[in-house]
Amino acid sequence: MSTAPMTAYPTPPEALPQDGMSNGKFGIGLMIVSEITFFGTLIAAYVFYIGRDINPPYPQDVLEVSIAPFKVLFNSVFLLISSVWIWLAVRAMRKGRMGAFIFWWALTVVCGAEFLVGTGMEWYDMIVNDGVWIGTNLFGSGFYTVVGFHAFHVTMGLIVLTLILILALLGHVTPRNVEKIDLVSWYWHFVDGIWIVVFSVVYIFGNQAIT
């Protein structure tokens, strides 16, 4: 398989830091604010209903906070560290280093994919071995709604990241596109950041809820 040459492109003026806020940044900022409101509503509902189940299983019976491979802590490390890789990718593009950009961007894609695979394995275990699905009880409904919507956002972000990677490998993404690429990284940072909240509420607070 051929790899992209480590060509150092001259940094165009539009790749340099700009003063003020562009329309793109304003738009992505509004979208992130709306998404924060959306997730805030879901999380508030989860907190309100957690511990109100009459029938098991309860969060303490099902959720396992473990660093073992493909468990939630293991997956979380991959997702959160991907924010570092995507930051390095954008930084490399600003300097015109497309080879480094492709490397860090690809690493971001790999980490995002691992998170989704791990989430799928966790769900499979919960459904098959623990018998917990979205219609099982309030816990099941709340868990799959909150974690499921986050997984959906990760999936959408991963699709965009993969398309950009393919276009970069084909030479259709250059440092002139850095502002648009930076906006994509904003979304990915949001997805990572909201996972910290989801993890804290669902896996930490949820496991301490009194049933």
Per-position pLDDT tens, the chain of length 211: 444 444 445 555 444 444 445 788 889 999 999 999 999 999 999 999 887 877 888 888 888 887 767 689 999 999 999 999 999 999 999 999 999 999 999 999 999 999 999 999 999 999 999 999 999 899 999 999 999 999 999 999 999 999 999 999 999 999 999 999 999 999 999 999 999 999 999 998 877 655 4
DSSP string, 50-81: TT--SSSPPHHHH-----STTSHHHHHHHHHH
Domains plus CATH for the chain? 72-211 (1.20.120.80)
The distance from CA 46 to its chain's CA centroid, rounded to whole angstroms, is 20
Question: For position 13, what pLDDT does the model report?
Answer: 47
Q: How far is CA 65 from CA 4, 44, 69, 137, 200, in A?
A: 40, 21, 12, 21, 11
Question: For position 196, what pLDDT does the model report?
Answer: 97
Per-residue burial over 130-166, b if 16 or more Cβ lie within 10 Å, else e, is: eebeeebbbbbbbbbebbebbbebbeebbeebbebbe
Write the DSSP symbol of residue 202: I
Q: Which residues contact 45 (CB under 8 A, 6 or more apart)?
A: 142
- Nearest-angstrom CA–CA distance, 66 and 64: 6
Residue count of the chain, please give it. Answer: 211
